[in-house]
Amino acid sequence: MFWKKAPATATATREPSPVPGNGNGSGEDAALDALASLLKTFGDNAFDTDNVTALETRSECDGWAQRITMGGGKSGEGEEGKGATVFKRDFPGVRRYFTAQRLHEREFVGRSLGNLRQAVHAFARCLTTTVGEDRAADERVGSQLGKLIGAFQSNDSTAIRYEAESVVAVVQEVMAKRSESQKRMLGELSQKISELREELQEVREKAALDPLTQLFNRAALDAHLDRVADLAFLLSSSPCILMIDIDHFKRINDTYGHPAGDDVLRRVADALVRNFLRREDFVARYGGEEFVVVIPDSTLHNAELRAERVLQSISELEISTDKGKVQVTVSIGLSSLSSGDTGKSWLARADAALYEAKGSGRNCVRVARETGSAVVSVAPPRSMSPGPRSFPIRSGS
């Protein structure tokens, strides 16, 4: 028996009090023994919850079993003798404790199973996505996952464990069969990456182009000038720069409109490309109505001849607008790379030569010496007469 009665003496302080209305002592003992055994069994099979450990529950149950069997405190004097002590067994208290603890455990288990169900559903979605390529395998995995989810709905721990093990076995089998498929997918992925790399290169090239003329833009020009300047001294080459400005471009915009001005820019750009067809030649729009051509290896004399052909070619353009035909000429500054030049200083000397060309009446070429002064003059084509002299206003002139 879980509890042991104290000796039957008149002054015993731990003697169990009679159960009211029960005249059979052996029946009372059996009932108390059964209740104590239930409390002990409950405590021995306790488990940790979110705020009570299994050890704490076991200790509480043992305490209640002792209070039930041995009595829990004085309730007053006895009826038959003065000074006799009667101990009260707290049956309502043990009932409240047992009920509260059982409800708490039920709520805890319910919450835990609910969280586990959500995890299983998330696991199912993840697996379905992972193995979604093979439909036959998907059906097997999906069927097994359905069984696992059904087991969670029943709260049967044995079934849950069995179905979970089955899911693992099916997934392992599916993934083993997927090795060749995954190799194929990796090959396709590699091909896709190569295609994306090519597309990225195209995007980079487009980013280096001027959207109106489809020539290289200013950023691409700056980078190219530095590369050419660095390589020229290593390769012992003699690159040249032509800086080209459309004469009186602001007047064209004001007279014929900006759409006509855009058309002039495109036509001049096309003419430059036609005159510099070699792959190594670099034609860029510097900004506004200015263009730059980089000739990577040429004598200064040959560069002058090519600049003269540019003057002739552009002067022969026929550009029609709603307000009549536009006659276009350009001014050109030419500079060869000198010892100690950077891309920036090289371009600055070509710009100074262009300034001289515009100050000399436009529609002509001026060549910059190493000192920066422009000395060589190329006469305009015979079919053209020099434009009126004016102050060399750069932008919009």
Among all residues, which ones are annotated catalytic? 289
- In this structure, the chain runs to a length of 397
Query: Residue 365 to residues 104, 311, 334, 343, 392: CA-CA distances in angstroms?
Result: 97, 8, 7, 21, 14
Q: Which sign does the torsion angle of CA 287, 288, 290, 293 carry?
A: positive
DSSP character at residue 278: S
What phi and psi values does residue 359 have, to the nearest 5 degrees? -75, -15
SS3 380: coil
Cα–Cα distance for residue pair 58/64, rounded to 1 Å:
10
Cα–Cα distance for residue pair 215/269, rounded to 1 Å:
7
DSSP character at residue 15: P
Cα–Cα distance for residue pair 30/15, rounded to 1 Å:
16
Cα–Cα distance for residue pair 309/294, rounded to 1 Å:
16
Per the rule left: phi > 0, alpha: psi between -120 and 50, beta: everything else, 340 is left
What phi and psi values does residue 122 have, to the nearest 5 degrees? -65, -40
